[in-house]
Amino acid sequence: MSTLHTRRLDPFRIEIVRTPPMRTTGLVYANQAIERTLGDENVLHQVANVAALPGIIGPSMAMPDIHWGYGFPIGGVAAFSVEDGIISPGGVGYDINCGICCILTGMRLADVRGRLDKLLTALYNHVPAGVGSSNPKLAATGREFRKVLEKGAGWAVKKGYVPPSDLEAHEDEGCIEGADPDAVSGKAVERGQPQLGTLGSGNHFLELDVVDLVSDRTTAEGFGLFEDQVVVQVHTGSRGLGHQICDDHVHAMVAAAARHGISLPDRQLACAPVRSAEGREYFGAMACAANFAFANRELIVFLIRSAFEQVFGGSFERLGMRLLFDCCHNIAKLERVVWEGAVIQACVHRKGATRALPPGDARLPGRFRETGQPVLVPGDMGRVSYILSGEPGAAETFFSACHGAGRLLSRHEAKKRARGRQILEELRRKDIRAMAASRATLAEEIPEAYKDVSDVVDTVTGAGIAKAVARLRPVAMVKG
């Protein structure tokens, strides 16, 4: 594709002008600070490449945490007509339903300060972390594993690990319809079976935070948040299962695109029509991975509650441990969208983007009808995170918002800059305790490897996509 032409529409939006073979414009959400992080045009070219795919509805979009990804940029949002559009594994990513959940507690920082080291150790021991980590005690096999793939978080409820009330705190109640275990390869099953209830590595984490600022008291009260409250964030996904499913289908779709006469500006955008046999098969397998991820995070919630019970005594209910919300940010979903006054059935790809439903949306469970959906936006391991709520302005993004800070440095460059440094000691000087399965992971995840999440949040709130509800400060964390 030739040189891109961009123009700033307002303080929070940059348009990529339509240039052939683009079928539509590109729209990047970026304030001045985020614009300075975009660097060269490579990542914008990814936005433009997505705009060249058939059946796209509206612009090809990117949230302010945009960075380079496989085919689609991470932070990318794109909707495609079910009638003549496509579905693409690159628009979902390798870690299918990588997502985040937030667990509330009834405790303040002073309640845990004296037992913080003991609590961190208990969390580290309860939740397996690291490359290839497994959890034999929670593994499911055979017919039971098929139920995990079909039922998602509901499986964890039925097995008695978590209470039924947790399901209302999940996007789509923790289950994507249309899962087809027969579309999942034996190799993917083999990789996934031992990894239920595990954190993994890379940017996945378990983090103990304290609410250090409430921006919207009414919404915060609706969510159950208060200043100085201790909360827990968990960031992980479908582990080896999702990675293998993506790998299996992305290669098959290169040939599928050719068979269906789809011209690809980048082979990593391999895709197939949504309603084709290849498209349906990928969707069925992807939904299985998404449901695995929902179940995986719920099992980790169970393990976290168990760790708290061990350290503080009594039940998790007495400790006020309630799931605020669990959302996915690597997914393709069939949704009804409104574009140019028409209601269209679409396949909405959110890759490194979170659904953000506003108050009154019929898809919200009762507890969030007045507040809007919680939007969880973690920062890096040395800076703050945010809890937002969806706003009506998110209609222009097909109700999508950012999912985190967004990388600035490659993992290789981050490791290079971390050479010789004592990352754990640097964090401790910020009054943040950390335990990690690998020093290499700590090096890859140094704070300067990421954008400042406050700039990301300033953009989505300024654009009217979401509003800030509370800010979280990290206290302790487990890394893979």
- Asked whether the CA dihedral 268, 270, 274, 279 is positive or negative, the reply is negative
The active-site residue out of 126, 235, 329, 403 is: 403
* One-letter identity of residue 246: C
Confirm whether 403 is a catalytic residue. yes
Q: How far is CA 221 from CA 31, 208, 216, 227, in A?
A: 30, 20, 9, 10
Hey, which residues are catalytic here? Answer: 403
